[in-house]
Amino acid sequence: MTEATSIPSSFIAVVDDDLRILESLESLLEAAGYIAAVFPSAEAFLQSSVMEKASCLITDVRMPSINGLELQWRMKSLRPNLPIIFMTAHNDDEAERRAVREGAAGFLHKTFSASDFLIAVRRALGELTEEQ
């Protein structure tokens, strides 16, 4: 799990406090041709240079300290056009409504399939339309 030094337009940041999820999503993104940087906390992401360069952010909803919704709120002032995809293992309709209302590019419920995940990423990056 390393931070990339050269950031292309298909650079994806993933924030989750579950290291197994981070490793899995990093492998999946790289297998699909993206470059990924993973972070075990929102704080680690916010303190990194990746925060300024990522093409898309994928974050867990529930994390210690700064949760995904708080991270979304902070990113609105720092990177207002950064597409953010949320993922959660919990049935929290209010969190989903709030994330979408605030402009989330996607919302996935764990356990999601690799294809659903990659479709959400491609849509967030503008590589796919809603019809595709």
pLDDT, one tens digit per residue, over 22-53 is 999 999 999 999 999 999 999 999 999 998 99
**Who has greater pLDDT, 69 or 111?**
69
Confidence of residue 131 (pLDDT cuts 50, 70, 90): low
CATH class of 11-104: alpha beta
* pLDDT recorded at residue 3: 45
Q: Which residues pair with 125 in a beta bridge?
A: none
Question: What are the boundaries of each domain within the chain?
Answer: 11-104
Q: How far apart are CA 66 and CA 29, in angstroms?
A: 24
